[in-house]
Amino acid sequence: MSRVSTPRGYRDTYRDIEVSFKVNGREVRVKVKPYERLLDVLRNKLGLLSVKEGCGRGECGACVVIMNGKLIPTCLTLAVRAEGSEILTLEGIAPEGKLHAIQKALLDTYAMQCGFCFPGVIMASKYLLDKNPDPTEEEIKDALDGNLCRCGSYLRFIKAVKLASKYIKEGKVFFDESEVMR
């Protein structure tokens, strides 16, 4: 394509900004655009596809990760804010070949339907259990209030978080995939 003249308002000077941070325990350095969202960077530049875009407005919970110990909506977060941070996504909550207690519990309670909301639900559940290892049903609902699940697995989420809490209290934080009940 040829540029006949610069169209009104056009700028092509959005310089890349280099951002260094830690993701799932690994140091990374990425070039991001000033207008890029953390969601886009995690997915498109770092291949962390578990982080989903469900609404782009912070209204569905599908895009949440844990950044600097806080559950945050990556669709509303500028990529430049990742600088110097530590980020945890679903890909990093358990060692290779293992499942975290929350994942195991969700499978044990047969909560899976389409699975699209699960990464967000798992991160929100982990965020809760990290702060509050023995939550009441009310506290579980408060913690997952922002995670929409249209397939309707909510009742199973409540059961699963209680079960995961039980596993963790028994010292079982990680499970072998082979332990999953088929």
Please report, as residue ranges, which positions from 94 to 113 form the binding site for other proteins (by CB under 8 A): 99, 103, 106-107, 110-113
Tally of residues, the chain? 182
Q: Using the rule CB under 8 A, is 61 a contact of other proteins? A: yes
In the list 88, 117, 129, 163, the residue contacting other proteins (rule: CB under 8 A) is 117
In the list 21, 23, 30, 43, the residue contacting other proteins (rule: CB under 8 A) is 43
Q: Using the rule CB under 8 A, is 125 a contact of other proteins? A: no
Q: How far is the CB of 22 from other proteins (least distance, A)?
A: 17
Which region among 20-28, 60-68, 167-175 touches other proteins (by CB under 8 A)? 60-68
Distance CA 104, CA 121 (A): 13
What is the amino acid identity at position 101? A
Q: Nearest CA to 130 among 174, 179, 86, 69? A: 69
Residue closer to other proteins, measured from CB, 22 or 81: 81
- Here the tokens at position 119 are 């990464």
User: 78 to 97, contacts with other proteins by CB under 8 A?
Assistant: 78, 80-81, 83, 89-91
Identify the burial level of 127 via C-beta atoms within 10 angstroms of its C-beta, where 0-12 means exposed, 13-18 middle and 19 or more buried. Answer: buried
- Here the tokens at position 172 are 């079982």
Residue 100 is inside which H or E element, if any?
strand 98-100
Residue closer to other proteins, measured from CB, 170 or 181: 181
Q: Using the rule CB under 8 A, is 175 a contact of other proteins? A: no
Q: How far is the CB of 181 from other proteins (least distance, A)?
A: 7
Binding mask 2-31 for other proteins (x = CB under 8 A): xxx--x-xxxx-x--x--------------
By the 8 A CB rule, do 36 and 78 touch? yes
- Here the tokens at position 104 are 């195991």
Q: Using the rule CB under 8 A, is 142 a contact of other proteins? A: yes
Q: Using the rule CB under 8 A, is 155 a contact of other proteins? A: yes
In the list 23, 30, 41, 71, the residue contacting other proteins (rule: CB under 8 A) is 71
Q: What one-character DSSP code corresponds to residue 45?
A: I
Residues 98/71/22/88 CA torsion (nearest 10 deg): 10
